[in-house]
């Protein structure tokens, strides 16, 4: 897919590695497992949002913006990377954060990850102009628009980036990533059966399924949901994939190509599960590979469970996308005690 006509900033030199996890594959006794290292994308400590920001920040600059406004959870990787991009481009940045929920579904302001560690520490280190923290369930989108109006009234030129950078423009980063991955798969001589991704705000998965479909690839993309049930998440992925194909004038992605499994969410978004803890230890101790606890950790737990159940087995090849977010691990060490 040729995206060269679209405005784009480049924050990563070259493709991210595609690595064979030989010892992990032997340990689980199932398919050959490879990992796409999008935790090594550019900007501050990397992560999948960097691909989206290459298109979103380019659009902001083309529109003459002098500041970015975005939102996410209290340990948001997207907010960290948006803030890092703003520093690279000389833009101001305003962050709107939402408190976590507890395992019982109640807001837990006192139980949120500490303010002085993980991404919260990096928000301070990178020097966000403003950081607001709101109760869980607050309308972050409305607050972003309100901040944008306040900034405009003060003479600024704000650009609002949605949570996770997950609109059609941001998802183009993963349309491009699909082409990148297909080239790597071809160079390695692989026959890949499935790509496994974390699925949250859905931009990564929607871009991948749109890009693979446009390329005529039959590789399945299976999302492991980190915050919603399958019934809630799959329409969200499908709708965003449809917006991407409409933006690019591509054939619509068949509904059966959209899969978001809701069996590994646990008590809620960003809340640890025993499977996630076990998966992080497994990947670290077999491959020296550190995952994050919110996204790839739950995706890895889902992958391991599906291998152990026999759903995925010998003779198959699977690629796990490491979406980054490792700084958030340091705010959730209590789960590993």
Domain ranges of the chain: 18-47+167-336, 49-165
Distance CA 68, CA 221 (A): 31
Higher pLDDT, 108 or 115: 115
CA dihedral 33, 223, 305, 287 (to 10 degrees): 40
Distance CA 263, CA 305 (A): 10
- Alpha-carbon separation of residue 128 from 42, 81, 95, 144, 193 (angstroms): 19, 11, 7, 15, 42
The residues that bridge with 225 in the sheet, in sequence order, are: 199
Per-residue confidence (pLDDT) for residue 302, from 0 to 100: 98
Active-site entry in 25, 76, 86, 166: 76
If phi > 0 it is left, if psi is from -120 to 50 it is alpha, else beta; for residue 124 that is alpha
Contacts of 65 (CB under 8 A, 6+ apart): 91, 157, 158, 159
Mean pLDDT of 26-55: 98
Q: Which residue has the tokens 């490792």?
A: 326
Contacts of 150 (CB under 8 A, 6+ apart): none
Q: Per-residue confidence at 148, pLDDT binned at 50, 70, 90? A: very high
Contacts of 282 (CB under 8 A, 6+ apart): 24, 27, 300, 304
Q: Per-residue confidence at 251, pLDDT binned at 50, 70, 90? A: very high
Distance CA 309, CA 307 (A): 5
Q: Annotated catalytic, 76?
A: yes
CATH, domain 18-47+167-336, list 3.40.50.10140, 3.40.50.1100, 3.40.50.970, 1.10.510.10: 3.40.50.1100
**pTM greater than 0.85:** yes
Q: Per-residue confidence at 104, pLDDT binned at 50, 70, 90? A: low
Q: Per-residue confidence at 1, pLDDT binned at 50, 70, 90? A: confident
Mean pLDDT of 283-290: 98
Look at residue 81 and tell me whether its pLDDT is greater than 90.
yes
Q: Is the dihedral of CA 89, 8, 139, 268 positive or negative?
A: negative
Name the token pair of 195. 């790509």
**H or E segment to which residue 195 belongs:** strand 194-199
Average pLDDT over the chain, rounded to whole? 95
Buried b (16+ CB within 10 A) or exposed e, 288-315: ebebbbbbbbbbbbbbbbbbeeeebeee
CATH class of 49-165: alpha beta
Residue 94: strand, helix, or coil: strand
Distance CA 144, CA 73 (A): 14
């Amino acid at each position: 897919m040729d995206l060269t006509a679209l405005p784009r900033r480049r924050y990563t030199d070259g493709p991210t590695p595609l690595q064979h996890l030989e010892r992990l594959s032997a340990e689980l006794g199932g398919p050959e497992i490879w990992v796409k290292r999008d935790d090594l994308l550019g900007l501050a400590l990397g992560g999948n949002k960097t691909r989206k920001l290459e298109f979103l920040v380019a659009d902001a600059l083309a529109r003459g913006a002098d500041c970015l406004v975005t939102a996410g959870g209290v340990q948001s990787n997207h907010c960290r990377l948006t803030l890092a991009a703003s520093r690279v481009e000389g833009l101001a940045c305003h962050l709107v954060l939402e408190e976590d929920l507890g395992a019982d579904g109640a807001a837990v302001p006192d139980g949120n990850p500490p303010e002085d560690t993980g991404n919260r520490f990096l928000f301070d280190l990178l020097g966000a102009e403003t950081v607001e923290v709101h109760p869980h369930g607050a309308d972050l989108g409305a607050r972003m628009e309100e901040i944008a109006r306040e900034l405009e009234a003060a003479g600024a030129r704000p650009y609002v980036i949605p949570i996770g950078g997950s609109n059609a423009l941001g998802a183009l980063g993963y349309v491009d990533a699909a082409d990148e991955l297909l080239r790597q798969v071809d160079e390695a001589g692989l026959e890949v059966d499935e790509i496994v991704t974390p699925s949250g705000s859905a931009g990564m998965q929607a871009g991948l399924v749109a890009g693979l479909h446009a390329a005529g690839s039959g590789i399945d993309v299976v999302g492991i949901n980190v915050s919603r049930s399958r019934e809630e998440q799959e329409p969200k992925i499908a709708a965003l994939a449809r917006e991407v194909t409409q933006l690019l004038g591509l054939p619509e992605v068949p509904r059966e190509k959209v899969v978001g499994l809701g069996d590994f969410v646990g008590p809620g978004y960003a809340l640890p599960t025993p499977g996630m803890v076990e998966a992080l230890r497994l990947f670290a101790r077999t491959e020296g590979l550190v995952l994050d606890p919110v996204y790839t950790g739950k995706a890895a737990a889902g992958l391991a469970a599906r291998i152990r159940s026999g759903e995925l087995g010998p003779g198959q090849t699977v690629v796990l996308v490491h979406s980054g977010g490792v700084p958030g691990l340091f705010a959730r060490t209590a789960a590993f005690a």
